[in-house]
Structure 1
Amino acid sequence: MRYFPLFHDLRDAACLVVGGNEAAARKVRLLQRTEARLHIVAPELNEELAALASAGEVEWHARRFRAKDLEDKSLVIAASGDERVDGRVSRLARARRLPVNLVDRPALSSFIVPGMVDRNPVTIAIGSGGSAPVLVRQLRERIEALLPARLGDLARFADRFRPAVKSVIPGEEGRRHFWSRFFRGPVAEAVLQGDDRRATDGMLTLVNSAPEGRDNQQGSVALVGVGPGDPDLLTFRALRLMQEADVVVHDRLISEGILDCVRRDAERIHVGKAKGAHSMSQDEINRLLVQQARAGKLVVRLKGGDPFIFGRGGEEQAYLQTHEIAVQVVPGITAATGCAATAGIPLTHRDMASAVTFATGYSREGLPDLDWQALAAARQTLVVYMGVSNGGEIAKRLMDKGLSAQTPIAVVEKGTLPEQRVLGSHLADLGDLLKREQVEGPAVLMIGSVAASAQNLTPAETPLALAV
């Protein structure tokens, strides 16, 4: 290891930047995150640095670099763009044993500036010794995506309670166990969600119960929508919770690609719900979630699409709240929007559809009792979930209420996944199309003029022209 990573305390330290161009401005932006006093030496400044100087945020010396500029400085950056000037800055700074950095010239620098992920006071530095700056940037972007925006708030929140925890929990090992549980528990999650009042109340309860030796850090449940199947469509919060989970409860609609994103040592419980083949009833799933949370575990309930759109998320949330289990809901991209995007179908369009309706095509009693007259209205898009088995009857009901038999339809099977199929036809053919193409699902039915916009159509055995 040539470069040893350190965090330099620049509070009230005088730092010198030589140069007034864009390269110098990038370094000034970084140094402004600290509490350093910034001095810039340059005959001219670009617009950004000139504005900072006018606002008094930096001290500008409008001239060329002089050796005496190094006096009383704690850190030096040379970014003038003139090799002779920057080289001289480096030689003089090294002679004074001052840490010096030349932009993009590690050989003449005594330190390099790493790629940084800033969640003040949490900071992550990434370096390659100057050998692969593009790789460093890509790693920084990946880490940025994984870390919650309020991670710094969580660190400051914990710091507020450190004295209290130290006073009531004897021994370093006991405190380490407390904080380990805290950072993966519901109180920390409340901080990350910006709910400081709930977090503070929860933390006071944890600290006050600690002297009695009660380990009452009850777990929590997250109802996480994972979208229609493509792991790239996961939200940042969904991915973070999947990586933190102790227990993951999932059903058959969760793709292997999604499950590959789950923390490897998390317990996985397959509840296997499918039409006509429920391996675990909804009541059993509800009790399972409560049981696991009361055991102090972070439980993630994975749901295809969005938990609150035909995902029974509302039922599970109500049950958990009734049993005083902390629960959060993480929205996901629902099948309608995900499948429409991959099929090139705009769900609303100024010239064709001014409304969109989501409906379910299945219930335990068969076809749901829906307002078919309203669903058959013109200038709207109807998206039917779980409608494969009743597709023919759905089409009949809509036509009976006046919707044209030539209304364009599209069936998107296994949307967003590599095996996706997009089938197009018209309403009168819907039932036959589903049988002819042996559509099994998961699939969504899109009915309305916008369905004629479907792209990447899968070749059908009997091609049918779409009526527009």
Structure 2
Amino acid sequence: MDYLPIFLDLKYKNILVIGAGDVAFNKIKLLLSTHAVINIISKNLCSEIKSLLSQKKVFWISQKFKTSYLKNVFLVIAATNNTELNKKIFKKCSEFKILVNVVDDQSKCSFIFPSIINRSPILIAISSCGTAPVLLRLLRQKIEAMFPKRFGNVAKIAGQFRSIIKKRFSNLLERKRFWEKLFNSVFVQNIINGKEKEAICNLEKMIDKPDALIGEIILVGAGPGNSDLLTLRALQVMQEADVVLYDNLISQDILNLIRRDAKCIYVGKRAGIKSITQEKIIKLLIFLAKQGKKVVRLKGGDSFIFGRGGEELEAAKNANINIQVIPGITAGIGASAYSGIPLTHRNYAEGVVFITGYKCMKNIKNNWPILSDSSYTLVIYMARLQALEISKQLILHGRLKSTPIAIISQGTTINQEVIIGRLDEIDKIFKLIVSPSLLIIGNVVALHKKLEWFKDFSNTQNIKNISSII
């Protein structure tokens, strides 16, 4: 991060502006909205600044810059065409530790002006750090469209009731729940529609008859790894959570999207590695929810696809705890799509079967004939530990040894690696790839060469054919 975004209180502080042309006027207009004291140094004044001077909104203190004018100044704007003068101003301000901005010369700025969306008291400031102003303008247009002009009044009215709410709800968590409920109610829409009296009436009713503090457990699928594939609803819930229990497969990019003051608890589990038991995870979920907390259970992929999410929600319902489910993109769908392998295709596969390879041999012993049907694509999660036995059983029950397979590790991420081979080479391939990995078996794998696309977006992606390695 090249610049720290901060909001400065300039009220009644002395601001020095050197230059009084159109560029200076635009900066002065912005500064006046903060109730700063604007002092101007310039030989000539543009008509707009002359008008401000006549209204006594600004002060014209000199025609020529002197170092002595920097005394008791909080911030300086240099908006002149004189390169040497701008250089001198920057140097002196740097010596005196005064914030300075030389307009259109980023190398001589100790701060830069962001692009501002003003819904006062809500302010949204965005910046490209001077690298892409046109892109920034397009982004600002999108953000502007998201927030109606009256949106700031929501914050104004809420602010007027803060002290009342604080007295009414002594518990911090109760206050948080109240505000969340209020801002998700008709209160906001009434203000946006100009019905402020109705909005205040709704607010007062909610203060008089608040709901009891009730915890809940929200099951969230975080997708296959790439943070871009997180759903909008998942992001919203992660921003509202009091506590997040997350698994081993959750990337740091996704963890960074969790609300900063939420407590994050690692409860990761991996096949073959000793870790916290499922029973302990369930007990912890229920314990936290009964404290009135909004508890997010964050799992890789989709929670209902080999994620044991159903077990956790069953326990929650048995304990009379409210639940929600936010689905995620399961690894089988995400990794195959990012590898250019369609799981079904009119000419290659009539359907797709998802199974887990972990402890699967006993559970599916009677289903090998179905799994060995070449008209179906087989997607196997956690296949590494039983890979060789799976291959043997499929071949024994009718799958051809030459059936194409793909093993995908770290799917959908910039570190994605895909190795293509044959069913009878499965053991050799797994020795070349890291976990977590996904196994796809079926004729659709033959399409990957034609349909692969992610390598064009990620130079680090690695697609190999086993025959070129062994």
TM-score (norm 1): 0.59
Matched residue, 2:392: 396
How far apart in 1 are the matches of 2:317 and 2:185?
15
1:390 partner SS: helix
Question: What is aligned with 1:373?
Answer: 369
CA distance in 2, matches of 1:217, 1:383: 43
Q: Secondary structure at the match of 2:402?
A: coil
Alpha-carbon distance between aligned partners in 2 of 1:267 and 1:237, rounded to the nearest angstrom: 20
Structure 1 match to 2:261 = 265
Q: Does 1:287 pair with 2:292?
A: no
Q: Which digits, 9 at most, give the CA deviation of each residue in 1:235-257, with x for residues without a partner?
A: 11112222222211012111222
| Structure 2 partner of 1:449 | 443
Write the letter of the residue equivalent to 2:443: S
C-alpha displacement at 1:141, in angstroms?
7.5
Identity of aligned residues (%): 40
Counterparts of 1:175-324 in structure 2, within 5 Å, are 178-184=174-180, 216-324=212-320
Are the equivalent residues in 1 in contact too, given 2:216–2:322 (CA < 8 A)? yes
1:424 deviation in Å? 0.5
What is the SS of the residue equivalent to 1:458?
Answer: strand
State the TM-score, normalized to the length of structure 2: 0.59
- Give yes or no for contact 2:243–2:263 (8 Å, CA) kept in 1: yes
* Aligned mates of 1:189, 1:445 — CA distance in 2: 43
CA contact under 8 A between 2:404 and 2:423: conserved in structure 1?
yes
Q: CA separation in 2, counterparts of 1:447 and 1:363?
A: 19
What's the Cα RMSD here?
A: 4.9
* Aligned residue number for residue 408 of structure 1: 404
Using a 3 Å threshold, how does the CA distance of structure 1 residues 429 and 373 change in structure 2: closer, same or farther? same
Using a 3 Å threshold, how does the CA distance of structure 1 residues 284 and 392 change in structure 2: closer, same or farther?
same
Q: Tell me, which stretches of 5 or more residues in structure 2 are unaligned?
A: 1-9, 11-27, 34-114, 187-202, 453-460
Aligned length: 345
**Secondary structure, aligned partner of 1:424:** strand
Kindly indicate whether the alpha-carbon contact (under 8 Å) linking 1:126 and 1:136 is maintained by their aligned counterparts in 2.
Answer: no
Tell me by how many angstroms 1:311 deviates.
0.8
Cα distance in 1 between the residues matched to 2:206 and 2:280: 30
The whole-number CA distance in structure 2 between the counterparts of 1:462 and 1:229 is 28
Could you list the runs of 5+ residues in structure 1 that have no partner in the other structure?
A: 7-113, 192-202
Whole-Å Cα distance in 2 between the matches of residues 270 and 254 of structure 1? 10
Match of 2:468 in 1: 463
Whole-Å Cα distance in 1 between the matches of residues 297 and 116 of structure 2?
35
Within 1, Cα distance between the matches of 2:412 and 2:282?
29
The answer on whether the counterparts of 1:181 and 1:217 sit within 8 Å (CA) in structure 2 is yes
Q: Which residue of 2 aligns with 1:356?
A: 352
Secondary structure at 2:463's aligned position in 1? coil
Equivalent residue number for residue 341 of structure 2: 345
Partner deviation per Cα, 1:27-47 (whole Å, 9 max, x = no partner): xxxxxxxxxxxxxxxxxxxxx
Instruction: Name the amino acid aligned to 2:377.
Output: T
Distance 1:325 1:172, change over 3 A: closer
Once residues 225 and 307 of structure 1 are traced to their aligned partners in structure 2, the CA distance between those partners, rounded to angstroms, is 5
CA distance in 1, matches of 2:140, 2:366: 50
Structure 1 residues 127, 451: CA separation in 2 closer, same or farther (over 3 Å shift)? closer
The residue that corresponds to 1:13 in the other structure is none
Deviation digits for residues 31-86 of structure 1 (CA, Å, limit 9, x no counterpart)? xxxxxxxxxxxxxxxxxxxxxxxxxxxxxxxxxxxxxxxxxxxxxxxxxxxxxxxx
* Partner Cα distance (2:234, 2:144) in 1: 15
- Secondary structure, counterpart of 2:228 in structure 1: helix
Give the letter for the 2:429 counterpart.
Answer: L
The structural deviation recorded for 1:136 is 5.2
Q: Indicate how the Cα distance of structure 1 residues 458 and 256 shifts in structure 2: closer, same or farther if over 3 A, else same.
A: same
Which residue identity lines up with residue 435 of structure 2 in the other structure?
A: G
Secondary structure of the residue aligned to 1:422 is strand
Contact 2:168 2:207 (C-alpha < 8 Å) held by counterparts: no
Give 1:420 shift.
Answer: 1.7
Residue 74 of structure 1 is matched in structure 2 by none
Superposition deviation, residue 329 in structure 1: 0.9
Change (3 A) 1:259 1:424: same
| Structure 2 CA distance for partners of 1:369 and 1:461, relative to 1, 3 Å | closer
Q: Is the 8 A contact 1:367 1:390 kept in 2?
A: no
Distance 1:177 1:368 in 2: 47
Structure 1 residues 178 and 284 mapped into 2: Cα distance closer, same or farther (>3 Å)?
Answer: closer
Kept in 2: contact 1:310–1:360 (CA 8 A): yes
Q: Report if aligned partners of 1:424, 1:457 keep a CA contact under 8 Å in 2.
A: no
